[in-house]
Structure 1
Amino acid sequence: MSKTPPTSRPPVVLVGVQFPTVSDTEHAADLAELTRLVHTLGYDAVATVSQRRGALATGTVLGKGKLKDLAALTGGPGVVSSGARDRTSKARAKWEAAQEEGAEDDVPEPFGDGPEAVDAPEEDFDPEDEETSETELDASGPRPTMVVVDHELSPSQLRNLEKATGVPVMDRTGVIVDIFHRHARSHEARMQVEIARLSYLAPRLRESSGGSERQQGRGSGDSAVELDRRKIRDRLAELRAGLAAIEKEQDQRRYARREQLRVALVGYTNAGKSSLMRALTGSEVLVADQLFATLDTTVRALHPETRPRVLVSDTVGFIQKLPHDLVASFRSTLDEALEASLLLYVVDASDPTWPSQLEVTRTVLREIGADVVPSKLLLNKCDRLEEAARDALRAEHPDAVLLSAHRPEDVASLRLDILRFFEASMVEAQLNIPYSSQGRIGEVYEHTTVLAEEYDEHGRKLRVRGLPAAIARLTRAFPAEQTEPG
């Protein structure tokens, strides 16, 4: 267990279980990432409780000894008992009241309520599975007002932990969904996040003290929680219908862009995609040093503009243990990657865990079939590395591009690499455009590069270069003599 200096933010304690297949480095990276997640959410991790186990304890995540260590930090009883329930309810009510006073209107309630469940048994661990560490309590430091667990928990595990610690409990999935909810700006992103949030919340609804009483009037015979779940189901159906309509419009826009050159920036959250997007396109996209700053797909033209134009998309970032419901909700956003001509995998090369972060990105894209799209690896933030470390990366990844999004020369070099990639697949053709069809000349300039231009008594002769699909369409519209690539 470790303690960090107190801050003015609400203090939380992190809980992590290290499984046998997880190395010490990976476990430390997971907890560091969870620290950044809770910081993004507006809290500070002031303590960490970690334990090595073969699996999460069925009822309370941690073994009996570690659970008492955790409760010593939060002031809870350290055991799951009926008397602890009232203390937890009061702590949650007090916490929610404090949140309501200082929170923004669109900040959601914390997750963690679970249905009634059987209390965890007193002995739910094998002492040999537990690695006990020294517990140091700082009486002058802030007492954590919440527990955040680096795993997705069942409703009963959340409930039992709340009873044992006397404070609200969130799991990793709840934290991520909450961050997405706060950062969603567009109507589409808000709908996507609400679907994931309600899907997460529905099984965690529980009865209040009077919840067993039957409702009167419409819906008579149903308990309060049953009515709430029905409302959630109705709202989910409404959201999915609305999202389907938006996705249909997006499909039409993507279809209109099908012949344009499209590059998608993909990668782990906070890898620098938005900074690179701004540098490549000159657009004023949001750049923030926080997780999931970008949730909406932004499409801008490569700057300075080329002919044909190259469109660059900045997509939502990925993270370890990304909730399945979020992946499903953001499927339409991820389709930008599926339909791109080139994927640029952006990683933070200064992060020692970037190989595993890259694998997370590849895994999610593999699930939607985007792994077949041509790609290039970008090792970003190399300005933070020593020259020896950069040399090692070049030797290990000779086809990767080492760069910093903040160095103009690196961005200019990447731009040339992108153009060379598309140039390699382009073909040349001659178009004979009669004077009666001069109104369509803009279409030619939009989708091809005009290499030469001549006039005769019949019209305009253009020597053009472009992608095979665009050239094929234009040559069907105008007499053409197509040549080999070169």
Structure 2
Amino acid sequence: MTTTQTERPLAVLVGVQLPGVDDVEHAADLAELGRLVHTLGFDVIATVSQRRSALAAAAVLGEGKLKELAELTGGSGVVPSGAPERKNKARARRAAESGEGDDDDGELGVDAGDDADDEGDEDDGVEAPGAGGAGQEARRATVVAVDHDISPSQARNLERATGAQVLDRAGVIIEIFHRHARSRQAKLEVEIARLNYVAPRMREAGGGADRQRGGIGGKGAGESALELDRRKIRDRIAELKQELTGVQREQSTRRALRQGQRRVALVGYTNAGKSSLMRALTGSEVLVADKLFATLDTTVRALHPEVRPRILVSDTVGFIKKLPHDLVASFKSTLDEALEASLLLYVADASDPTFRDQLGVTRSVLSEIGASEVPSRLLLNKVDRLSEEEREALRLEFPEATQLSAKIPADVAALREAIIAFFEQSMVEAELLLPYAKQSLIGEIYENARVLSEEYDDAGGRISVRAHPAALDRLRSLLAR
């Protein structure tokens, strides 16, 4: 019996190192883009990088680098005539009349001298990790992934010059979210972000001349096919937002039922190990995968072994640099779990040399939704991959942090005790009077407080408890009704 393995399509990464971005940060950004593209299902065969003061107005890269990129995709490396937008036609015409090359070189001419950037920039050439092998050389990349947000015209020009599909960073992330969404809420949020991303790019599709008959009696210019498609997208977004409002209302009701309970939210960069830690702390079968954005839905489970009152642990969506704004807005409701938590555990992959920047991204996004005031602790995860010298350096740099590995049971047990101790310090002792007529509330008391003792007399039960002040207020309110 023979099995055939389907070859994954190939992709090329494109990055421009802008002023203020050092080599380490630039390399980390491209490496992260490579992991995103791999998560999307492509094998990266090369990286085309260039130092520039700004992205080229026409096609991101200068003319020389554009041709190098085209060699990897089988394209011409030249933006065909007529590709620039109408506002650039006059410039293109002047360039053609002066004999300066293609019509499009008028726009590319902004980058005159960009090839000089290529000279002496040996590190900015074409890197081809794992591109060896005669069979591989015969295959061309079918996708170009750009590590920047680019305009629709830049994307179209790149596609014409390379003959490949072009995705900018936002497009790659949105497509990953689209594939990984599982819950109804996540699917709605991602679809809204996806339509918001697609709508402005429709103007580059062309073919807007065909019009529907307009007005009463068919008079008037009417509505172009492109305008009609845009209106359909706007109507669809409105429908999705209305449906999402209903879903969020249900989520708010469920969160309200958990009010007064002790809640911990795991937050951090994507692939920092939050889901592995969630599984270790709660004993639940949450998805654990070594890929970006494996978790898009908030999962809530009880700390295991259970304590009384229960402590709930939430695993939230991961963060990433340059997260599309539409996705940040869409997922704010998902992040409300962090906003309403009693304790935030910032999970960082200590084995990643860029984890400090990743931690900054996480804190920045949480600050946007107002969660920066929630008590927090820093967890430096995956320290089993570090040497003792590296761990000691981290102890000096982050004395308040907890170093651990989600794979080491002793580390997880210590974290569990630390979580319990955090809530213990805010708990107070009190006595509750439980009339015989309200014995049905005994389960509620055990659920929200730790019962220290019970005594019964003619009036009912006198129950000594230890609980959080908010939980005590809720229990007293129930008993007073």
Same fold (TM over 0.5): yes
The residue number in structure 2 matching 1:155 is 152
Q: 1:156 to 1:25 in 2, by over 3 A?
A: same
How far apart, CA to CA, are the structure 1 residues paired with 2:85 and 2:367? 35
Kept after mapping to 1: 8 A contact 2:345/2:376: yes
Contact 1:207 1:224 survives alignment (8 Å): no
Does 335-344 or 428-437 show the bigger shift? 428-437
- Contact conserved, 1:346 with 1:378, CA < 8 A, in 2? yes
SS at structure 2 position matched to 1:443: helix
Among 175, 180, 185, which residue is 2:177 paired with?
A: 180
**3-state DSSP of counterpart to 1:123:** helix
* Superposed counterparts of 1:4-403, under 5 Å: 8-82=7-81, 118=88, 119=104, 121-125=107-111, 126-127=113-114, 129-130=117-118, 132-133=121-122, 140=134, 141=137, 142-206=139-203, 210-215=207-212, 221-403=222-404
SS in 1 for 2:195: helix
Give the 3-state SS of the residue equivalent to 1:205 in structure 2. helix
CA contact (8 A) 2:345 2:379 kept: yes
Alignment check: 8 A CA contact 2:149 2:169 kept: yes
For the 8 Å contact 1:79–1:122, the answer to whether it is kept is: no
Please tell me the residue identity of whatever aligns with 1:203: P
Deviation of 1:82 after TM superposition, in Å, equals 2.7
CA distance in 2: counterparts of 1:117 and 1:348, whole angstroms? 48
Aligned-residue sequence identity (percent) comes to 66
* TM-score of the aligned structures, taking structure 2 as reference length: 0.87
Q: State how far apart, in whole Å, the 2-side matches of 1:116 and 1:250 are.
A: 48
CA 1:115–1:65: 2 relative to 1, 3 Å: closer
- Note the C-alpha offset of 1:72: 2.2
1:470 to 1:27, Cα distance in 2 relative to 1, 3 A? same
Amino acid aligned to 1:397: F
Q: Which runs of 5+ in 1 are unaligned?
A: 1-6, 86-113, 480-486
**Displacement, 1:434?**
2.4
**One-letter amino acid of the structure 1 residue matched with residue 372 of structure 2:** D
Q: Which amino acid aligns with 2:167?
A: M
Which aligned segments of 4 or more residues in structure 1 are displaced greater than 6 angstroms?
Answer: 114-117, 136-139, 217-220
1:121 corresponds to which letter in structure 2?
A: E
1:321: Cα distance to partner?
0.3
Alignment of 1:460 with 2:461, yes or no, is yes
Residue in structure 1 matched with residue 101 of structure 2 by the alignment: none
State the Cα distance separating 1:46 from its structure 2 match: 0.2
Q: 2:96 — aligned with what?
A: none
Report the CA distance between 1:115 and its aligned residue.
8.4
Q: Shift in Å at residue 202 of structure 1?
A: 0.3
Measured in 2, the distance between the counterparts of 1:59 and 1:16 equals: 15
One-letter code of the match for 1:123?
G
RMSD: 2.3
Paired residue type of 1:57? A
Distance 1:13 1:394 in 2: 39
User: In the alignment, is the contact (CA less than 8 A) between 2:455 and 2:461 conserved in 1?
Assistant: yes
Aligned counterparts of 1:452 and 1:170: Cα–Cα separation in 2: 64
Select between 431-440 and 196-205 the one with higher mean Cα deviation: 431-440
- Return the offset for 1:57: 1.3
TM-score, scaled to structure 1: 0.87
Runs (5+) with no aligned partner, structure 2? 1-5, 89-103
Measured against aligned partners, the alpha-carbon deviations of 1:114-161 in whole angstroms (never above 9, x if no partner) come to 988845613222435556435589794132122110001001110111
After superposition, the Cα gap between the structure-2 partners of 1:139 and 1:309, relative to the gap in structure 1 and judged at 3 Å, is closer
User: CA 1:208–1:150 in 2, change beyond 3 Å: closer, same or farther?
Assistant: closer
